[in-house]
Amino acid sequence: MTLDKPNQDLKRDLLGIASDLKWSAVELMRIAERLSLAGNEADAQAVLKMCTVLHADEDRLTGYADEVKAGRIVRSKA
C-alpha cells in the first residue's frame, strides 16, 4: 500500500521516536552497569527498570508504524 505524505511522515516520526527510545535505553544500560560496578545496585536496578519501559515503548511505537504502513492507522489531512 502506497502511503500519502501525511502518513509517510507519521510512519517516519514513529520509527524515529522508537529509534531514539532504543538509543536511550542502550545508554541507560551502560549507566546501570557503571552504577552496579560502583556498588550502587539499588540505583542500577532502578535504571534497568527504566530500560524495560523504554524497550516496551519502542516496540509499541514500531507496531504503530506497522499499522500505519498497513493502512490501519491513518493521519487525516488537515
pLDDT tens for each residue of 40-49: 999 999 999 9
- Is the pLDDT at 78 greater than 80? The verdict is no
Q: Where are the alpha helices (DSSP H) in 1-78?
A: 5-37, 41-70
- The ranges assigned to domains in the chain are 5-70
Distance CA 34, CA 12 (A): 33
Three-point CA angle 15, 20, 24, nearest 5°: 145
Distance CA 3, CA 6 (A): 8
- Residue 44: other Cβ atoms inside 10 A: 19
The pTM for the full model equals 0.88
